[in-house]
Chain A
Amino acid sequence: MTKPKTREMPRPDISLTSALGLPAVYVKDARKSFGDKEVLRDVSLSIKQGEVVSLIGPSGAGKSTLLRCLTLLDTFDSGELAYGNVRVCANVPGESRTTYDKEAERQARMRFGIVFQNYNLFPHYTVLKNVMDAPIVVQKRDPKEVEEQARKLLERLDIADHADKVPDQLSGGQQQRVAIARALCMNPQVIYFDEATSALDPKLTQDMHRLIRELAHDGMAVGIVTHEMGFARDVSDRIAFLFDGQIVEEGTPDEVIGNPSDPRTKAFLANAED
């Protein structure tokens, strides 16, 4: 069988990105269709380092598709996507579809992490191995150094006692924290949460709020897709409201949720009240 490539994986170079003042995530005029259905229509969005941005909107608005494209699990039809100074795809003149750069994709993957809605932990690995495996195997880092970081992360997320258990021995909230540790151990610049708090009780939601603010304080860009308006309002620096594939309103939580100007946002929020 083919041996894994021994090529060195580049570690994210945060200094260059911040020196250039580039946003951690940058999307411009992104479009995506499934057959005749236009799912994303000229979406532009960026997240700066240290900024928490929530994406809200009704089901079917395109939130999941946007998140899948941002995490390179799917591709935009046209538009531009960049992680800091790494441009993943862009429109080339004369081409109808946007062009993805394989090497840039690989580099970009090292710059973001995602906490999936159902966590997608590896069930056959212990908690510690879930967190350590990719940094060692993919980033080719020193196992000792990785273990040290992994244990610190588990400590910080209050699951150090469960390091040697397997995921199915943990509660949903604990599994989510393992997923967070797994993402953070790759030292990303951006972390995405898909439905960060939908499975959490009020106490855990509060913990999550604190954690996200801490991450932002440390300079990480945080992108959240959520249905929980209260949480989005409390935790975000900026909120984007996605409706029918378009960002129809964007601004601070007070602007978008407190005082929406677009009738579609108003209608959505009125329904979300209860």
Chain B
Amino acid sequence: MTGMLLNGYVVSLQIFALTLIGAIPLGVLVALGRLSRFKPLSWLVGLYISLMRGTPLMLQMFAVFFIPYYLFGQQTGPDYMFVAVMIAFIVNYAAYFAEIYRSGIQSMPRGQYEAAQVLGYSRTQRFFRIILPQVFKRILPAMGNEIVTLVKDTSLAFSIGIAEMFTTSRALVASQRSMVPFAIAALIYWITCLVIEFVLRRIEKRMDYYHD
């Protein structure tokens, strides 16, 4: 039983890790688009963020899963299931991360931009050397919240039949007529979150060498 659960857990961790790897950098681009002075881009990105935050992630997953069929009449293979989940997760979480980045970027004092500008830094250098590192520290607590939520959100992949931990635990509950697999799965989710919180606290401590 634990073997099956652990197999499911590995899939859950894959969804978790791949979402972070994709959404953390993508969120920066989305935030920059949202903050762009080119209004059409800013509005378009605003619409995207609003859609992502205003509709259920589960629905978005279904949308990504079925769109190729309805749009191109193409049957998708079973491999596409996982791809669809990843696209939906990354695109959804990038929207949430982007809003956190945006709040962080906008909270930066104007003097930091001006000092960098006077010293001759280009716009790119200014953003990546001066602004972003400071934004990172400011948004860490908010990001921690989202990341812990993501651990539990991976269970949504159950709805399109990915064999992640919740799916396997549910199958075990059905076959064994026992709630124990659910309890174990809950414990594993919880421990995972505890580990993540621990890691985040360590990072926060390391960033604590300065205050602004």
Contact = CB atoms under 8 A, between A and B. Distances in A.
Contact of B120 (A1, A110, A120, A121): A110
Nearest to A7: B122
B62 interface: no
A4 B124 contact: yes
B111 A9 contact: no
B21 interface: no
A118 B111 contact: yes
Contacts of A112: 118
- Residue among A5, A112, A120 with the most chain B CB within 10 A? A120
Interface string B170-212: 0000000000000000000000000000000000000001111
Contacts of B120: 9, 106, 109-110, 134, 138-139, 186
Interface in A120-139: 120-124, 133-134, 137-139
Given A166-B209, A168-B210, A124 B118 contact: no
A223 interface: no
B146 interface: no
Given A116-B114, A120-B112, A168-B212, A134 B122 contact: no
Interface residues of A, number: 31
26 contacts: A1-B124, A1-B128, A4-B125, A71-B118, A72-B117, A72-B118, A73-B114, A109-B118, A109-B119, A109-B120, A110-B120, A112-B118, A114-B118, A116-B111, A116-B115, A120-B109, A122-B115, A122-B130, A123-B210, A124-B212, A134-B119, A134-B121, A168-B211, A168-B212, A182-B119, A186-B120
B125 A138 contact: yes
B137 interface: yes
A122 B125 CA distance: 14
A113 interface: yes
Contacts of B117: 72-73
B119 A123 contact: no
A122 B135 CA distance: 12
Nearest to A110: B120
A133 B210 CA distance: 18
Interface string A74-107: 0000000000000000000000000000000010
B212 A123 contact: yes
A138 B133 CA distance: 18
Contact of B133 (A2, A110, A116, A124): A124
B205 to A, nearest CB: 15
Interface of B: 109, 111-112, 114-122, 124-125, 128-130, 133-134, 137, 209-212
Contacts of A139: 120
Nearest to A73: B114
Given A71-B118, A134-B119, A168-B211, A124 B124 contact: no
B33 to A, nearest CB: 14
Contacts of B119: 109, 113, 134, 138, 182, 186
Contact of A133 (B114, B129, B209, B211): B129
A118 B110 CA distance: 12
A120 B115 contact: yes
B137 to A, nearest CB: 7
Contacts of A71: 118
Contact of A120 (B111, B121, B129): B111
A99 to B, nearest CB: 20
Given A73-B118, A168-B211, 5 more contacts: A114-B118, A122-B115, A124-B137, A134-B119, A186-B120
Contacts of B209: 166
A124 B134 contact: yes
Interface string A147-189: 0000000000000000000111000000000000010001000
Contacts of A1: 124, 128
